[in-house]
Chains A and B, each alone.
Chain A
Amino acid sequence: MKYNILKYFAGVLILITSFSCSNALDEEVYTFVSGENLIEAKSYNELVSGAFNALTFPFEWGNYHTVVNFDTDYQTGPTWAFGSLGAGNFYENGSNISFYQSYYQCIHRAEYHSFLINQMDIPQDVKDNSKGELAFLTAWSYFNLVQFYGDVPLYKTSVSEGAPLSVPRSPVKDVYAFIIEQLKYAETAMYSTHDAKYVKGHVSRGAAKALLAKVYCTIGSASMAAGNKVYVMEGVPFKFDDDGNKVRISYPSIQSFEKEQVAGYESFNSKEYYKLAMDKAKELINLGDFDLYPSQKELWAPSSKNGKEFIFSLQTLAGNSALSNFVGTDYAGYYDTDGTLSTGYYVQRDHWYQLFDDTDERITWGVIHRVPFNYVKTTGELQYCYYPAKDSVKVRLGIDGYKPTDILRYDAHLYGSKLMKFRQVSVPLDGNRTDFNWPFMRYAEVLLLYAEADNEVNGGPSSEAIAQVDKLNLRNKSKTAAELGTKTPWTQETFRSYILQERVKEFAAEGIRRFDLLRWGIYLQTMNSIGGVDENGVIKRRERKHLLLPLPADEVNTNSFIDTNNPGW
């Protein structure tokens, strides 16, 4: 009996102790925090950085430049690289998906983070600046999306604030209204580059103004009535002679295109937006927040990163695999241990090179003319090839850095322009990731946007427009617009075309050309004037479906408001 009492007592004791821990299911976290934690901690800087971090995603595996550069008239390379996006095969292309996805990640973060910062107890100017930066990021992202995809789902608040998981596509017009609204807020909310509180590498009020000018110009050109003329230097790159040999046609010729009105922009008044663009660009020029570097060499010096001409760039960090990229290597190559130049597969086409005056720094300094492509083991010497072919006399004479032993090679990645600008990195290119800050917007563009808008507003370029463009020409040691205009007076059409050409010369491979061709409504005419394939066999033939990128299939399949993809996809 005594045992029994003990027994039951023991049993009851165990039962009580085991049932008593009732809060044991609380979830403890260690490796992440909640939005509320960040409001409390006033982590506004961290929330801004976290949002801009999403810009790095398409650069991790080289997806960004393939979308913005490959599908253009003046870029080429080996067919293995240009076989998908470069050949117009956009459907379910990984880079296309990455482009769409990462900009929506930017938008989500910018909006949600702005919502969090808004709840913080911090000084008003600090709060405004942070929210302004995020508004800029939202606008930038939508601006990219709307140009490539047309109508897109428009989130004005994020799903983390409670927005639904599916929203319908909004018309282009509504997307632009939101972009402009965001930028108008951002241009007043952010610090200026002169402000003591401004930190280099961040976006500033000037960035918002520049982007606003670009948005207005884009609307202006896209909504401009069909039939307006644009001239482009283009044409077939080769022909076959009587013996069936492929013969290169070295020079492009002037092609006259009648622009189309871009779908979705019909309701805008082109003139009105060009006026807005002109004023906004002028406002920024007058503010003096930014300036040009005196030469291409100084512009692309590593020390100039985030400098006075760079309005908005991707921020990178050498040695950090997530925050650096292969852009430099892909475009400019790197010198292997045996001295040969490796990779550097993506080049500007020869026809692009022919657009320049001989003195233009963008080719004299900006293009790599000699490439050591082979190391001869037995002699221990490097073999060089030279570019372009028309420099053969200089080669023979061994001047301008050439040597008589240099030979000509027509390999897809050797006969074309490798651009020096991609060596704006702080560590030597060695085949690993480097810190190339992709320049999203440069001050040079503001000058050209001003000139473009002025030309459209005034029915021809004003002297002010010519003066602004010539700032750039003087820097680049190119013929001035004033000089050109004295020979053959500028017309609205010739100046419009001149500016468009200046843009592709100045911003070669900076992800601007495709947008330009699309917004001017001359994408199809331009691409198809190449005549099917370029000199390297890259397919440049395009159809109407190529005017918009296909939405990722996941968006179409999962969005309850979207039944079909863009036309033709």
Chain B
Amino acid sequence: MKKRKKTICCLKHLKAFLLPMLCYLSVMTIQAQSGTVIGTIQDENGGLFGASVVEKGTQNGTITDVNGRFTIAVKNVKNSILKCSFVGYETIEVPLNGRKTIDITMTSAVKTLNEVVAIGYGNVKKRDLTGSVSSVRSEELLKVNPSSINQALQGKIAGVQVSQADGAPGAGISIQIRGANSFTTSAEPLYVIDGIPFNTGSAPETDYATKQTNNPLSLINPRDVKSIEVLKDASSTAIYGSRGANGVILITTKNGYEGRTKVELNINYGIAKPVKLIKVLNGADYAEFRNEGIRNGYIYDGKDYVDEKNLDFPGRWGYTMGTDAVSGKPIKLDSTYLPSPQDFRNGYMNGGNNWQDQIFQNALTQDYNLSISGGDKKGQYMFSLGMLDQQGTIVNSYYKRYSIRSNISRKVTDWIEFGNNLTASKSQNRLARTNTETYGIVNDAISFNPTRDIFDKDEASGVSQDYSNGLSNPYLYVHTAKNILESMNLYNSSYLNITFAKYLVFRQSLGYGYSQDKRNQYYNRYISGGVKPTNGYASQSDSYYESVTAESTLSFNKDFGKINHIDAVAGYTYENVNWGGKSMSGHGFANDINEENNMNAALVQDPNYSNKGKTSLMSYLGRINYILMDKYLITASFRSDGSSRLANNRWANFASGALAWRLSEEKFIKQLGLFDNLKLRVSYGQTGNQGINAYATRSRMTIQQYPIDGSLTNGFAEDRWGGPASPNLKWETTTQYNAGLDISILKNRVNFVIDAYKKYTSDLLQYVYIPISTGFSSIASNYGNVENKGLELAGNFFLIQNKDFTWKMDANISFNRNKIGGLNSDQFSDVCWGMESMFLRRNGQPIGIIYGYQEDGFFDNEAEVRAYKMYKNETDAKIRSMIGQIKYKDNNGDGVIDPLDKAIIGNTNPDFTYGYTNSFTYKDISLSFFFQGTQGNDILNVNLQNYDLASTGNMPQFVWDNRWTDANRENAEFPRADNTFTRSLKASERYVEDGAYLRLKNLSLAYRFLHPIKDIEALNLTLSANNLFTLTKYRWYDPDVNTFGSDTSRRGVDMNSYPSARTVSLGIQLTL
């Protein structure tokens, strides 16, 4: 009775702030019975708080208190059995046998290796794994307060390289498992959520110049995730056949547990700042730069002499003269003070404007999550609500997400069970213009003239404008440029389990996913993208992606005799995907009031576009695990995939096999008394790649209109970018070998997992260049190969395990080497205007090689210019103008600097990447810090292209300080100031920078209050900081940058990136 009263009482409190949840809570009924048992549950460190105790066969249960004590009334003290469970511990059943007081000891699942991990189409005990599978638990992921789960994986798992596009809220994240297999198709892994492959279409693009991507996985609330398993070797991924080559990430969402209702409220407040600002010239230095440009014009470029008082910044009054209408004499119409550099040093305009201050802000993040879970013998439920409101560090950018999840399962009879996992989420992302070739707001803020005020009442826009270099006023830009991406996502997976016998279970799953993305944009008449003659540019576009997956599997799990165990699964799956989208845009608006909301108002209507497509995939799959004497483990799997995307080679088979030998079960190892676990694993298998475009096998005649005498006529022709039909396409195949060793010593306190692998991908699916004379430039084909070799080390160490103090350390490091082969000729990828063919693919070289011009210092004097072949016969004026300019290496010696002089100048592949976590607990306090980094990789810093000292734009201080001047010939890194507007720097080594970094990714301190007030079981307070410091030589904002996202051929590019944020946040977790 007491217990029941408490529940009701508790409800009263809940009502106050959780009224809508009432109905869920009231489901709970606790039956009071006679016969009371008192006991404790503990592990080796003492009482366990929050463990669930249920009388077996009933819904009668309780939870242990802070000291591990519990009281439960049972039906029958003699016969009843108590079932004790706790997350991370082995569930045990204890027969009472008449005892009324009982002490129960539970053992941690981690230590017994009996933890169950998800593998494709099934689960397996960690100890029985034959393949290479890494697993991360929710608690581990949530430490960094991630807004998405893929982001949370960074640095956590050996062999998994996570890179963000940039630091924008909601920005794309790309994941590469064990290196890139492919260069034109996607190298992203396959995501499987609750058993169903998760795909979303790509959101409509901003425009051609912008590379911004969104992160579809951010629609899954990380707080709903129970665990993530990463399948790395072919033995584990081959069951996913044509989609397994890039690895598979299995995401399992939380479910309820048998026992009483658990209510958890999480609140997180954070404040973020850019990790750093780039120091730019102040007013004085900038004025100096402009004056120096003019002086250099006279000294070197043959321009007229300009005396000091006619420089751009002379330090005198300037007048506009006119003629008096009556007297005809000249009069002063207007006067303005024209400051000198010294004036700025003396405090004129407070020394000048740093425009970065106008676009960056301290950004607030609020994250609220409520989850209610529970269950009984017949089934479980979990319901959660989440709301995230994350401001960006650039003014007016933000990411908002609202999510609901409901996971339920229910047993209809003892042999039929069904369940349903549903997520619905909606997000809104307002993007600042970053990651773009044109009009990037961050570069704008660095370049904009620091001697100008923000506002200018004489301008129609109300803000100061600088027409000399086409930059928008950064203040106006961030406040008015509109680019909002709204996404809706519905993701549902249901299942029905029929247990024919204890060892034979049939499962039918049905997955349904629907996502919709909508992008609205407006650029008004005063900012880049909308200035005259455009007069306001608007666009609206949307896209949808719908997938239906049906899976039928039959699993078999049985011991034969004492020494044989067989675990097998066979199945059939069918997946059908529909996608489409449309867009409209226009410009020439009468005013900016309605923005893009009324597209009719555009004087010039661009053509509308729409697309639609469908693909389907059908597969048969099977896997068998055989365990002999608990020592020898054998796995074999097979999958046959048929795809609508292929024509003449529609079906393909993928098989794998793995062997594991648990040496620690062998007598001769046992005798050593050293190993708690020693397991050797070897595997081999084949997988395919999903990244082939639909319809590549066909000749596609699309609409190509042509106006005849001013009236538009319809035309048909093959799409010029698509390439001719390629009916013989087939899947590319990756063959992977893996050898691994699992080691646990010192009573499982020291654990190592070591894996070495070699992957060979052949028949690469790619758009291969073909002679332009065919009328096309590329054809989809199977061509070339890639080899990846690597080594992964992961260790976790339970260094100290006392009752009050624990210290745990996790570390991982991975090495990958990549090599291209089988190409007939070099292939190239462009980066942006001025950086064409900058990425090279060449036999024997890895993917991600930077190819460009080489430099040989600067022309320091006329003799040096004259000695340079290209200028041998030039006029004296030309020779003089070359002083202080960059001297490019004429590698082929033909006297011309052209693409034939290019050489390999960088490699964006890291030598290794690593992550390192330490966690300490002392009583109720816990502290953890997490380092993560990469070593040996280059970054192509495209941003520097803007700072060539040849325009009227401002620049970073290091550019100015290291420019070539007559006095600084020796240490010059940048050419001299030049105001002839003729400089065009070549894509050379100067843009290649060392991208290695070591980052304190997260530091968190938590305190747990138990029973802070009546009816609240626990209150956790967490103070955490992300990106506290980064050790790097990289000169731009953040070395964790990857403009082109999942495009493996162009990794490690920084083009107008959104700086990452340093975040400090306070988390409050309340458990009822």
Contact = CB atoms under 8 A, between A and B. Distances in A.
Interface of A: 3-4, 7-8, 10-11, 14-15, 18-19, 21, 24-35, 37-38, 43, 45-54, 56-57, 79-80, 83, 89, 91-92, 97, 100-101, 104-105, 107-109, 112-113, 152-153, 155, 158-160, 163, 165-167, 199-202, 305-306, 315-317, 319-323, 334, 336-337, 378-379, 426, 430-432, 435, 532, 552-555, 557-560, 562
Nearest to B333: A378
Given A14-B506, A49-B704, 8 more contacts: A14-B508, A46-B715, A91-B898, A107-B775, A166-B771, A201-B707, A337-B532, A378-B322
A167 to B, nearest CB: 7
Contacts of B644: 25-27
A317 B707 contact: yes
B709 A199 contact: yes
Contact of A109 (B718, B826, B900): B718
B709 A53 contact: no
A245 to B, nearest CB: 11
Contact of B775 (A25, A159, A557): A159
A184 B520 CA distance: 54
A303 B294 CA distance: 49
Contact of A53 (B698, B717, B774, B825): B717
Contacts of A50: 701, 704, 706, 715-717
Contacts of B455: none
21 contacts: A7-B498, A7-B500, A18-B550, A24-B616, A25-B617, A25-B618, A29-B613, A31-B702, A32-B700, A32-B701, A35-B699, A49-B705, A50-B717, A51-B715, A54-B717, A83-B984, A109-B775, A306-B709, A378-B333, A378-B334, A431-B533
- Which of A24, A38, A51 has the most chain B CB atoms inside 10 A of its CB? A24
Contacts of B826: 557
B498 A559 contact: no
Contact of B773 (A52, A152, A432): A152
A19 B777 CA distance: 42
Interface in B687-742: 694-695, 697-702, 704-710, 712-720, 724-725
B704 A53 contact: yes
Nearest to A158: B775
B205 to A, nearest CB: 16
A29 B779 contact: no
A167 B770 CA distance: 11
B769 interface: yes
A108 B611 contact: no
B645 interface: yes
A378 B320 CA distance: 8
A30 B713 CA distance: 21
Interface string B550-583: 1010100000000000000000101010001000
B340 interface: no
A165 B702 contact: no
Given A316-B707, A317-B707, A554 B769 contact: yes
A315 B645 contact: no
Nearest to A25: B644
Contacts of B618: 24-25
A15 B500 CA distance: 14
A32 B775 contact: no
- Which of B704, B771, B982 has the most chain A CB atoms inside 10 A of its CB? B771
A47 B715 contact: yes
Contacts of A336: 532
A306 B718 CA distance: 27
Contacts of B533: 334, 430-432
Contacts of B704: 49-50, 53-54
A104 B772 contact: yes
A558 B615 CA distance: 32
B668 interface: no
A558 B715 contact: no
B775 A11 contact: no
Given A50-B706, A53-B715, A33 B724 contact: no
Contacts of B824: 558, 560
Contact of B771 (A18, A45, A555): A555
Interface residues of B, number: 89
Contacts of B769: 554, 557-558
B572 A19 contact: yes
B534 interface: yes
Contacts of A105: 720, 775-776
A560 B771 CA distance: 9
A317 B774 CA distance: 28
A45 to B, nearest CB: 7
- Which of B334, B604, B836 has the most chain A CB atoms inside 10 A of its CB? B604
Contacts of B615: 27
B605 interface: yes
Contact of A321 (B322, B413, B606, B771): B606
Contacts of B701: 32-35, 37-38, 50
Interface string B980-1004: 0110100000000000000000000
A25 B643 contact: yes
Given A30-B613, A32-B719, A83-B982, A315 B774 contact: no
Nearest to B713: A49
Interface string B1030-1051: 0000000000000000000000
Contacts of B612: 30-31
A554 B777 CA distance: 8
Given A79-B982, A160-B699, A555-B773, A52 B706 contact: yes
Contacts of B896: 89
B127 interface: no
B552 A14 contact: yes
A14 B496 CA distance: 11
Nearest to B413: A3
The 10 A-B pairs with the shortest beta carbon distances in the complex, nearest first, are A108-B775, A201-B709, A431-B533, A49-B715, A50-B717, A50-B715, A317-B707, A153-B773, A201-B708, A49-B706
- Which of A37, A101, A202 has the most chain B CB atoms inside 10 A of its CB? A101
B725 A160 contact: yes
A347 B824 CA distance: 44
B506 A92 contact: no
B984 A315 contact: no
Nearest to A200: B709
Contact of B706 (A53, A91, A559): A53
Given A54-B717, A199-B709, A11 B698 contact: no
- Which of B615, B650, B718, B769 has the most chain A CB atoms inside 10 A of its CB? B718
Interface in B766-806: 769-777, 779
A406 B642 CA distance: 76
Contacts of B572: 15, 18-19
A558 B770 contact: yes
Interface string B594-620: 000000000011110011111111100
A62 to B, nearest CB: 14
Nearest to A101: B772
Contacts of B899: 91-92, 553
Nearest to A48: B715
Interface in B621-657: 642-645, 647, 650
B363 to A, nearest CB: 37
Given A8-B500, A80-B981, A322 B607 contact: yes
Contacts of A79: 982
Nearest to A324: B707
Contact of A104 (B642, B695, B774, B779): B774
- Which of A11, A32, A167, A321 has the most chain B CB atoms inside 10 A of its CB? A32
Contact of B898 (A30, A35, A89): A89
A315 B709 contact: yes
Nearest to A33: B701
B772 A30 contact: no
Contacts of B503: none
A389 to B, nearest CB: 20
B504 to A, nearest CB: 9
